Structure 1
Amino acid sequence: MTDADSTAGDAVDTATAPAGDVATRLESLLTDTLERRDAAAFVHVGTPRDPGIRYCRSALEDVEGRSTADRERTLTAVAFDGDAGEWIAVTAADASSHPARALASRLADRVDGGTVLTPARLPHDAALYLEEADFEPASTDVLERARAAKTPAERERIAAAQTAAAAGIRRAAALLADATVADGRLAADGEAVTPAHLRTVIDEGVVAAGAFPAGNTVVNPDPGHAPSSRDAADEPLRPAEPIVLETAPRGPDGYHGGLVRTLVVDGDGGRERRAHVGATQSFRSAAAMLTADAESVTAVEADLEAEVRAFGFEDPDAVATRVGGVGLEPRERPLAGGDEIGPGSVVRLESAVRVDGDRWLRIADLLVKGDAGERATYLAAPSRSLEPRALLEE
């Protein structure tokens, strides 16, 4: 597979691509990219767990007007014929041979060899089947770029997953609001409140709201968002210390939410209050910034950090911010550096402030960058208050 010009030749303006539905948007970007790269078709192969396959299959559902739920567990090969503007799909249930081999054969009947564009992570055997049919695979990131801006239907699916995330966090807040202190530890219903207990409570709330936890619920994550609390899963939590609750559930249609709240039981103010004011102010600033114009991930992260530091957190290691797209993955484009947060993007914004030692205050919400002239808005979520009971008053 060649990839020397995998992105250099793909400089398509995704902001101008139609956003009515997945099929319209994706086909527009594919047609333009194939023409620019002088390629015959786009091909992808993978299981339904692959976000790229899920996205292509969403386009197929839009085009064909039917569900592909009956193919949920089968290896799938899809292609978009740029000249004809048509999709081809083959699954293991459809073909007697490997789906990629069957797809390559069908594609060879339509076009006379040449370059086909594929994701860089195309399975090796699929690339060999394409070469066997006289095609030359070359990598492209067109799928990732197409997914960076969400259609109205995708935004609704993300909002539904975020509603489930909020349900999970509120259920944990309810437990903490009624918690008592015994021997310097938090207890509820006569049992110690532990990270493992809170994770279970959050996940139960997510499931009751119709989504799947997907293994993304974490209590007191480390700076890299790893589930460090598993190392102390059964260690009782303490009053007056920040408790970070993080979840990114997946809805039944595959789209994720993303929510982080920090709660304190019987807090005495101090540094965490100041950190909380700085973090919440940073979210207001970011929304105003993204209402005014499209911005890069780096620029928004820097703005979040500057707002927090304005409240006196000057230590270089005291503040951490992170911005990234949310959709069929908990983190996807726009993801880093110069990636632009353009119209239609849904991004997870997080501000984190070190309170003391290894204890952090973290808040994260999902923000939708509207179309030109529209205000950037946060998806509905619980209060950002540190007080558990405040999350139950909405």
Structure 2
Amino acid sequence: MPSGPRGGAAIDAAIDERDAVGFVAVCRGDGPTGRYLTGRRLDTDFVFVRAAGETHLRVPSTVDIPVVADAASVRTDDRPAGKAAAAVLAASASESEGTVLASRTIPHDAALHLESAGYDLASTAAVRDARAVKDETERETIESTQRAAKRAVARAAEILARSNVADEADGMGPDGVLVWDGAPLSAERLRRQVNARLAVEGVDAAGETTVRAGSRSESAERGGGVERDRSERDEGGGPKDDSAVELIAGEPIVVSVAPRGPGGYRGALARTFVVESGGGWERRAHVACDAARDVTLVEADPGASAGFLGSEIRAETGAFGFSMDGEVTRDVGGGIGLSAREAPTLDGDTELAAGNVLRVRAAVTHAEHGRVELTDVLVVGADGPQMVVDAPTGLDPRQW
């Protein structure tokens, strides 16, 4: 984990700009906001208060008082979060009333307690915007996670490259089924091997590893993220358990990982493989996705419009004859860090800034042919964009 809390300067700037008395956040100990603000994962919910340039934390008495670097005070307080925060503000802020900044997600009861204590609540995006720009240490941490992601996808490529194609006469399965290590290779077997490699690399699969086989399945992922399941449902019908789906030669197989490193920072990588590809639809779809991937290395400059980048990814994919409404993915990515999805989003009029780290995704889905997808993590550098980790993009798993 990058050392020390983050966001203090940005919060102080927002407080000064709004002439506020302080900032309050009610955090989950294992949530990304809490990890960002404290520099560590806490095993409890807590109240975070920033006032007069100092940080104060309040935790329940049921836990040991944690050590948090640079915090002026860390104490127990079993009162409701809003009352605990109001008490800290009364003791630490220069004024006993006025505007208090908070994120839009502050619990309703906490907001009511602060208002009843005489404070006017105003929302701020200071923490969200600060998290969108990663410093050098954060970028190095993301790169480490992304390297683990690459090695996990490489494991899938290795297995696919070593697989044989079954002939019904040999008793290993129906014609065309891939056979590995003496048995038909299913999406679930491949997913487990990918997750095993992630574990060896010291990162958490985070319930986000998916193997999508041809047009016969949505994903072999169990217990995956709600956001990911929703995006798949929007583009291809309801997700279903395809853990027993056997992989077949000539069909596109999408292997996607989004692991979480030891410090909480995420990676994201997806590649599409075809064993004994005959060309045709998947080849054209792959060329489209690869071209869209290249667009990100041209358009993701500091000062460029994030929304324009997103539209260019979609437009370049569609330029190869795919429907923008029914085939080209709408989820082309956005910021990545302590969350798999954070600011900036690739829509609207937000400008990209040096230090933004983006998950960039190009994908095409067809009801009969299946899906082709390429996903990478890109950093917006002062001198231009570059992939955090470069990985082969070809359909042939032997290229790895």
Asked if Structure 1 and Structure 2 have the same fold, meaning a TM-score greater than 0.5 normalized by the shorter chain, the answer is yes
Picking from 285, 288, 292, the partner of 1:278 is 288
Which of 310, 330, 343 lines up with 1:301 in the alignment? 310
How far the C-alpha of 1:33 sits from its partner, in A, is: 1.6
> CA deviation digits over 1:318-365, x for unaligned, max 9?
322512110111011112422332211000111112356261100010
Q: Does residue 342 of the first structure (1) align with residue 353 of the second (2)?
A: yes
Q: Partner of 1:109 in structure 2?
A: 91
Following the alignment from structure 2 to structure 1, what is the Cα–Cα distance between the partners of residues 307 and 84? 43
Partners of 1:40 and 1:115 within 8 A in 2:
yes
Q: How many residues align?
A: 355
- Using the TM superposition, give the Cα deviation of residue 54 of structure 1 relative to its aligned residue in structure 2, in angstroms: 1.3
Local SS of the residue matching 1:120: coil
- The residue correspondences of 1:214-225 to structure 2 (distance < 5 A) are 214-220=206-212, 221=218, 224-225=231-232
Matched, 1:142 2:110: no
Task: Give the Cα–Cα distance (whole angstroms) in 2 for the partners of residues 306 and 277 of structure 1.
Answer: 14
In 2, Cα distance between equivalents of 1:315 and 1:140: 35
Structure 1: tracts of 5 or more residues without a match: 1-19, 59-67
| Preserved contact between residue 326 and residue 346 of structure 1 (Cα < 8 Å) | yes
Q: Which moved more, 1:98-107 or 1:278-287?
A: 98-107
**Who is 1:169 aligned against?**
153
Q: 1:384 maps to which residue?
A: 393
Work out whether residues 21 and 151 of structure 1, in 8 Å CA contact, stay in contact via their aligned partners in 2: no
* RMSD (Å) for aligned C-alpha atoms: 2.4
The separation in 2 between residues aligned to 1:325 and 1:315, in whole angstroms, is 23
Residue identity in the other structure for 1:78: F
TM value normalised by structure 2: 0.82
User: Shift of residue 316 of structure 1?
Assistant: 4.2
TM (normalized to structure 1)?
0.83
Contact 2:133 2:356 in 1 (8 A): yes
Match of 2:35 in 1: 54
Matches within 5 A, 1:192-271: 192-220=184-212, 221=218, 224-225=231-232, 230-271=240-281
SS of alignment partner, residue 340 of structure 1: coil
SS at match of 2:342: coil
Give 2:370's match in structure 1, choosing from 349, 359, 378: 359
Query: Contact 1:287 / 1:377 at 8 angstroms: preserved in 2?
Result: yes
Alignment check: 8 A CA contact 1:324 1:336 kept: yes
Cross-structure match for 2:70: none
Q: Does residue 87 of the first structure (1) align with residue 55 of the second (2)? A: yes
Equivalents in 1 of 2:21, 2:77: separation in Å? Answer: 25
Q: Report how far residue 113 of structure 1 moved.
A: 2.1
CA distance in 1: counterparts of 2:248 and 2:154, whole angstroms? 19
CA-CA distance at 1:142 after TM superposition: 1.6
- Paired with 1:98 and 1:245, the residues of 2 have a C-alpha distance of 47
Query: For residues 328 and 99 of structure 1, do their structure 2 counterparts lie closer, same or farther at Cα, with a shift above 3 Å needed?
Result: farther
- Between the aligned partners of 2:361 and 2:272, the Cα distance in structure 1 is 12
Partner residue in 1 for 2:18: 37
Deviations 1:25-68 (A, max 9, x none): x233222222232211011012222211111112xxxxxxxxx5
In structure 2, the gaps of 5 or more residues are 64-74, 167-173, 213-217, 220-229
Secondary structure (helix, strand or coil) at the match of 1:116 reads strand
More helix by share: 1
Identity of aligned residues (%): 34
Q: How many angstroms does 1:99 deviate by?
A: 6.9
**Is contact 2:327-2:365 (8 Å) kept?**
yes
- What is aligned with 1:127? 111
Are 2:90 and 1:98 equivalent residues in the alignment?
A: no
Summarize the Cα distance change of 1:272–1:98 in structure 2 as closer, same or farther, 3 Å threshold: same
CA shift digits 1:282-312 (9 cap, x unpaired): 2222211124x43233211221223233333
